[in-house]
Structure 1
Amino acid sequence: MSTHDTSEVPWSDGRWTTEPVSTEVVDGDLLVTAVEGSDAWRTTSYGFIHDTEHALLRDLEQDSAVEVEFLVDFSEQFDQAGLFLRSDETTWIKAGIELSDGQEQLGAVVTRGESDWSLAPVPYWGGRRATVRASRAGNAVTIRARVDAESWRLVRVAPLAPDECVQAGPFCCAPSRSGLVVRFLAWRTTPADTSLHP
């Protein structure tokens, strides 16, 4: 994985897909209050389409990677935050931590017309700093995540055409309640990972 040439992205560089209730920068961190019912999903299993996520996005070029770091502090069903990649309303990926069925889960939703969803429980990530990374190279985007300074773990490899126009950045949603505040700690860009496996 590439660790050189890391650049911090100012919070002011992105544009929201859906405006949150409020945002505030405190000690360099971005605090985002989510709208009740905000979510991103298309059709599969549930039957509905939700396109109301709070994603702060800017262009993600080929052969580059983006990281979002945030505090895992969720208490209600489907509270979620992480990294969002978007081509258009029917082509996007969200990856991060979600409170599902009573525990923190690390997962991703990959959407091309319809959504799919994968999850893995990470109950010991609560109250800690999670980082989600999307690396774009060749015909794919590779999603990795870690907590604190632990080793990166592979979350997902998904197809992404080299010439596809994509934007990426931090996101959060609160599908089931009001009052969710997510503290984003960093937004960074780096060169793309040099290989799929260490």
Structure 2
Amino acid sequence: MQYGLTVAEDFLRSLSGIGATANVFMPGDYIPVEDEALGVKHSVRVQSFTRDLLRPYSYSLTLSDTTTTSILNRIISDQIETDKIIRMNNIKDPATARANWRRSREVMAAVFDPEGNYYTAKIRPQSIDTVALSVGAKSMQFGLTNTVFEPNYGGNANVIRVQGGVLTHYTIDESKARSWTLADGQATLDDPASPYYVYAKCQRAGAGA
């Protein structure tokens, strides 16, 4: 909805005091609007206005429920959000960088070969020259729907709660994707200093897990 609106000069003059006349309206202000013909009765945002330099109380307002954002405003907004993310995560902090490195090493140490074929040790080549690269084993081609993991459940760092959902595997059956319904679960970890794996035990013939 967009309105073009003029305001009675005498009304604005009665609201102003003695001295210099500043802008009565600014973009972003909200003006209460009643329009019986359109059934409108709520506040509408001032999108822009035009003011007569010779008649300081003569305003022509453009009111709109929607806002338009220029490319420059979007770029500035994105930059501000990026700066916020950097500040919130403290990415440039040496302690944070070291902690991120330790976490990545912990993940690498926990990696194993789910197919049981080859990954018996880490591969450490100095360089790799290849035409194609396939990442991820066949058994890892699955997705979770409506599944929620809640670590530190109930304020306890050793408790994790899992809200069930649907596990869909895309390649375990060559003819079609297979899905299993996951039950809710909760577990208490014995050693908070050790990494743990999350797994689902699925039925071969049924759809439960």
TM-score class normalised by the smaller sequence = under 0.3
Which is higher, the Rg of structure 1 or of structure 2? 2
Between Structure 1 and Structure 2, the one with more strand by share is 1
More RCO (CA 8 Å, sep 6+): 1
Q: TM-score, normalised by structure 1?
A: 0.21
